[in-house]
Amino acid sequence: MKTLTLTKPDDWHLHLRTGAVLNAVLPHTAHRFARAVIMPNLKPPVTTIAQALDYRAEILNAVPADTGFTPLMTLYLTQTTTLATVRQAAECEHVLGFKLYPAGATTNSDAGVNDIRALYPVFEEMQTYDVPLLIHGEVNDERYDIFDRERVFIEHYLQDISVQFPSLRIVLEHVTTEDAVAFVEASSSTIAATITPQHLLFNRNAMLVGGIKPHFYCLPVLKREHHRQALLKAATSGNARFFLGTDSAPHFTHLKETSCGCAGCFSAPLALELYAEAFEQANALDKLEGFASFFGADFYRLPRNQTAITLSKREWQVPDAYDVAGRTLTPLLAGQVLNWRIESLS
């Protein structure tokens, strides 16, 4: 049996929701990852330190006792975020940074930012206090094709932000294009990116060919094959500014399989296994530990984990669905067979 042992990794981009959904999905992450950056796009959004600490307490209450999982909290940037809030975040050991959602760009982003440049004083304060900025890097403008919105965001906003605030640590979340890869590679060490398993493994054919596949629909959407190849090359390159972020985003099955389905792939139950599949396809399993376990922690200036996780090369079938109080969550690749699975934790 072929095995692969890694320093236990972290998930640098995760959606957990609240209540019954949180309780159902968190164990999948906690058994695979030591820490995760928790996204703040709840209803209402997590915009204050007090809200973040309350949410953190709810998460900790749901953590399986044998995992030692640690949530890393973020605050939701709005048009009215204050400089005082930035300073409070810098002083709070449990808050990692701020998340910028362009208004309307993705799930629960209605309270997001309409005028990014008006937030430059906030970015200046974040730079001063070394508080990272996490960005959903898409414009929400009907003039631009949905497949171009990441590139347009980089050209219209991110290039200027990186020039105006050269010391601000920025993570361009869930990158999907060769344009984003090229931007990160050409930027300074203060700019990094997360990459999801679905964007490493699939192009837009997976979502569109042979009928609409709603469980492949996420934002930013899957792109052309040459973009996927660029992401895979970046992830397996050993470049420390690309690291793991699943963007696992649970939505009830009936809300995905509808005439206006939610955006998000629920990958938590098989996330690490999917990354192993992708890296093996690229003949780069030796690069997985850096991408999954080291680079994100180093960028965020956190200690690397000391425990280990082992995957084995043996087939298993992804469940068709997971029950949540009488409703279901359908995982990515439901019912399909994968070649890697978790063997042991230590």
Q: Which residues contribute to the annotated binding site for Zn(2+)?
A: 13, 15, 99, 136, 174, 247
Question: Which segments are annotated as binding site?
Answer: 13, 15-17, 41, 99, 136, 174, 219, 247, 251, 263
How many Å apart are CA 224 and CA 143, to the nearest integer? 20
Instruction: Tell me the β-bridge partners of 191.
Output: 170
Taking CA atoms, 252 is separated from 20, 41, 243, 258, 321, in Å, by 11, 17, 28, 11, 10
**Annotation says 115 is catalytic:** no
The catalytic residue among 247, 286, 298, 320 is 247
Q: At what angle do helices 19-30 and 49-62 cross, to 10 degrees?
A: 70
For every residue of 271-284, DSSP letters joined together read HHHHHHHHHHHTT-
Contact 78, 47 (CB under 8 A): yes
Contact 202, 228 (CB under 8 A): yes
Q: At what angle do helices 225-235 and 178-186 cross, to 10 degrees?
A: 30
Q: Which of 55, 52, 66, 62 is nearest to 344 (CA)?
A: 66
Using a 10 angstrom Cβ sphere, with 0-12 exposed, 13-18 middle and 19 or more buried, the burial of residue 331 is buried
Q: Which residues contact 240 (CB under 8 A, 6 or more apart)?
A: 290, 294, 295, 298, 299
Sign of CA dihedral 49, 162, 226, 257: positive
Task: Strand 308-317: give its sheet, edge to edge.
Answer: 3-7, 308-317, 337-345
Question: Burial letters for 178-194: b for 16+ Cβ neighbours within 10 Å, e otherwise?
Answer: bbbbebbeebeebbbbb
How many Å apart are CA 116 and CA 123, to the nearest integer? 10
How many Å apart are CA 272 and CA 32, to the nearest integer? 7
Peptide linkage before 319 cis (omega within 30 of 0): no
Just list the catalytic residues: 247
